[in-house]
Amino acid sequence: MAESKPVIYAAMGGNLLIAVTKFVAAAITGSSAMLSEGIHSVVDTGNQILLLLGMKRAKRPPSPQFPFGHGKEIYFWSFVVALLIFAIGSGVSLYEGVIHILHPEPIESPLVNYVVLGLGILFEGASWAFALNEFRKTKGKWGYVEAVHRGKDPSMFVVIFEDSAALLGLMVALVGVALSQWTGILLFDGIASVIIGLLLGGTAIWLAKETKSLLIGESANQNVVENIRQLAGSADGVEGVNEVLTMHMGPNFILVNLSVRFARNTTAEQIERTIVRLDREIKQAHDSVKRVFVEAEARAGVDKIPPESLASS
Predicted confidence (pLDDT) per residue in 183-212, tens digit: 888 888 889 889 988 988 888 888 888 888
Q: Which residues have CB under 8 Å from 272's CB, separation 6+?
A: 308, 309, 311
The confidence score (pLDDT) of residue 311 equals 47
The confidence score (pLDDT) of residue 228 equals 95
Between these two residues, 298 and 257, which has the higher pLDDT value?
257
Is pLDDT of 148 > 80?
Answer: no
Q: Is 257 exposed, middle or buried (0-12, 13-18, 19+ CB in 10 A)?
A: middle
CA angle 44, 202, 215 (to 5 degrees): 75
Q: Whole-number mean pLDDT of the chain? A: 82
The confidence score (pLDDT) of residue 25 equals 81
Q: pLDDT confidence of 12, banded at 50, 70, 90?
A: confident
The confidence score (pLDDT) of residue 304 equals 45
Give the 3-state DSSP-derived string for 46-90, with helices as H, strands as E and coil as C: HHHHHHHHHHHHHCCCCCCCCCCCCCCHHHHHHHHHHHHHHHHHH
Q: Which helix (H) or strand (E) holds 254?
A: strand 253-262
Residues 83-140 pLDDT 10s: 888 888 788 888 888 988 888 877 777 788 788 888 888 888 888 888 888 777 776 6
* Residue 210 to residue 207: CA distance in whole angstroms: 5
End-to-end CA distance of the chain: 25
DSSP annotation of 313 reads -
| Average pLDDT score over residue span 247-265 | 90
The confidence score (pLDDT) of residue 3 equals 53
The confidence score (pLDDT) of residue 225 equals 93
| Average pLDDT score over residue span 50-76 | 88
Is pLDDT of 17 > 50?
Answer: yes
The confidence score (pLDDT) of residue 308 equals 39
Residues 268-292 pLDDT 10s: 888 889 999 999 999 999 999 999 9
Is pLDDT of 306 > 50?
Answer: no
The pTM (predicted TM-score) of the whole model is 0.73
The confidence score (pLDDT) of residue 150 equals 67
Is pLDDT of 261 > 70?
Answer: yes
The confidence score (pLDDT) of residue 285 equals 93
Q: pLDDT confidence of 4, banded at 50, 70, 90?
A: low
The confidence score (pLDDT) of residue 301 equals 46
CB-CB contact of 288 with 254 (8 Å): yes
The confidence score (pLDDT) of residue 48 equals 83
Q: pLDDT confidence of 226, banded at 50, 70, 90?
A: very high
